[in-house]
Chain A
Amino acid sequence: MRMTIMRALAAGLLTAAASFGSAWAGGIPAGYPSSYADLVKAAKAEGAVSIYTSTDSAQAKALLEAFSAKYPGIKIEYNDLGTNGTYNRVISEAAAGQVGADVVWSSAMDLQMALATDNYIDLYVSPEAKALPAWASYKDMLYAATVEPIGMIYNTKALPEASVPKTRADLIKFLNDNRDTLRGKVATFDPEKSGSGFLHHTNDARATSTFWDLAKAFGAAGGRTYSSSGSMKETVVSGENVLAFNIIGSYALDWVKQSPNLGVAFGTDYTPAFSRVLAITKGAPHPNAAKLFIDFALSRDGQNALASNGLPSVRTDTDKGFNLATLNERVGGNLKPIALDEDLLEYMKPQVRVEFFKKWKASLAGS
C-alpha cells in the first residue's frame, strides 16, 4: 500500500516536472495515476463540462469557481434542474440519443441509484475514491460528494432553546404534549412534492421504528407540509411556523448565522444524513472533463470549497466548514449517513411508494 502511494507520488512528481511550463499549472495530485496528465489534456480539448444538478448554483459557487481556477480552459455549464428535473432530463436525453449531461449531481440518492442500476451511468474509478468512506460510493459509478445532516429548525422567539426536543422520542412527545399551542405551526417536507422530503421520510421509515408515531403526532398537531427547505425556513424565521423537522440541516447550519431568531437542532440519538451524489452519464459528450470534475469535487480542495459554501465534506481531512468527523461532533455523535446501496431502490417500486403515501396521508389525517 505504502509502496503504491510512494510510487504514485513519484510518478506524479515526474509528470508534474514533465508538464512544467505547459498550460496546465496544477500538477498531478498525490495518488493519481501517471496517465492523469493525458486525461487533463483530453478534458481541456473537450473544453466544457455540463452538469445536471439539484444544487443551487449559489451553493455550488465556491466549488465551481475553484474548478474553473484550476482548469481555466474548461467551461462549466451548470444546470440546476431540481432532483426530478435532473433525473427526467437524463433519461429523456438518453432515449433521444442526445445526452447533454456529463456529470449528474443530485441529492436524490434514490434516483441516482436508479440511474446507476438502469444503466445510465458510466464506470469510473476516481483516484479520490480511497479517501471516501465505504458507504459513500457505489460500484465505481456513484460517489457521495457531501454529507448533510437531516435536522430541525425552530424559531428561537417562540421556542426557547431549553425546551427544544433533543431526541426522536422527545420530538414525538413534544408534538403530542403541545398539540394545541403548536396547531398549524409545525412543518416538514411533503414527500409527494419533494424528492428530498421523500428520501428523508422513507429513510426514517426504514431506519427507525418510530417514524409513523412521529407522522401521527405531526398530523395530530395540524402540521403543514412544504415542498422545499427554503420555504420552511422562510416560515420559521418569520414565526409562521414554530419548528420544522426532517429538513436539510446543512442549510440550517448556514441560515442560523444570518437569522438571529432561527435555531437548529439535531437528534442526539440519531441524526440521519444524505449526500449529493456524483456520477458520469453514459455517452457523456465530455467524458474526460466529467472525470476531472468528479475527481476535483471529491478532492480535498473541492471538498473544502463545498464545505465553505455550507455543504459538509464527506472526507475527514478537510479544514473548512464541517467534514464528516466534525459534523458528527456537531450533531451529537450519532450521525448516520444514508448509505449508497441498493436498499435505496426499495421505495422506487410504485407499489411500495403508493403504500407509503397512503400510510403517510392516513397518519396526517389522524387515523
Chain B
Amino acid sequence: MTELVVNNVQKWLGGLQILKGASFTASRGAIVALLGASGSGKTTLLRCIAGLEQPEFGYIRIGDKVALDSDKKIALAPEQRNIGLVFQSYALWPHRTVKENVGYGLKLRGVNAADAGVKVQTILDRMGLGHLADRYPSQLSGGQQQRVAICRALVYEPRVLLLDEPLSNLDAKLREEARYWIRKLILDLEICAILVTHDQTEALAAADHILLLKDGRIVQEGPPHDIYSNPNSFYAADFLGANNVARGNLTTLDGTRATIGGEGWSLDGTARELQGLAPAASAQAVIRVEQISVSDSPGPHRIEMQLDDSLYLGDRWEYRLRRGSFNVKAHGTRKLSPGAVWCEFPPESVWVFPASSQA
C-alpha cells in the first residue's frame, strides 16, 4: 500500500535550485533511504515531505491526504500531515519528562489522559525505557534519548515516519545495534519509513530501497543489492563501497564490453554508462576493492603489479599495488612480501564510465 507519493518536487533557495525534481513513492512496512553526500538535498527533501520546508513546485501525498500540490496551491503545515520525524539531534524537549515528551502527540490528538498513559507506557516498555518515564532528557544517555525520540514520533501512529540521520550521534557499536532494531521495529509495526543518511552502510543495512541523491536530483534508486552491484553512473559506483578508481583512455568498445588502459596497463571491463564513451576518449573505471584478488601466478584477467606494502587491518590485510600510474588497493587474508604479484580484475567488476561522467 503506497503511503507516500513524492512527485517532481523542486525547491529553490534564492537563485539556487536545491531540489531538481525529486520523485518517488514509498509503502508500508518498508524503509526508503535517501542517501547522498552533504549538500545532495536529501535532508531538504525530507524536510519538504515533513512540511518544514516548502518547495516551489511539486506534489506530495501522505496517506490519503495531499500535502503539497503546486497546481492546486495546496501546502499543508507540518502539523496537518500526520507524520513522525526523528531528528538527528533527537530534539527532545528539555522541560518535559520522557513521558511528557512521548505523550505530547497523543495529547495534541485529543487522546484522553488515561489512554495516552497506557499507550506511552506500552511503547516505552517495548523500547526498554519503561523505567525512565519520569526522567528528563538531560538525565538520559545518547542511546536512550534516541529511543525516546523514536517513541515520540511513533506513538501516535503516523502515516509516515521520517528519520533524519538518526544514528549519526551514536557511537559505532550502538549504531550497529540501533540499525538493526530500528529496521526490525519498522517492519514489525508495518510503518512506512523514510531514512535520511550519508552513511552508505546504514542505508544498505537498514533500507529496503535506496534513493541516491546528488545535487538535488535522484541519480539512482533501487534495492540495496541492486544499487550496490548495478550502479548506472560513476557517481553511484564510486559513492557506495570501497573502491579503486582507474583513470585512463578507452581503447576498445564493443557493445558493453570495453577496455580501458593507461601508461603500461590495460583492463577489460563493462561499460555502465554509454553516453560520452568513445574509443580513444578518456574514461574511468571503478573497481570495488573486494572484487580484486591477488595471487602469485598469472591467469585470465590478471595483470602483474608491484606490491609496495601490506597493511594489517585486524580481520584482513590491505595490499597497496601499483603499475605505472595505476594504483590499487586490494584485500587478502595473509601478509604478502613486497614484490611482483598478479591481480585479477573480473571484467564484470570493472565498471567503465566516461571521464566526464558526473551525474
Chains A and B touch (C-beta atoms under 8 A apart): no
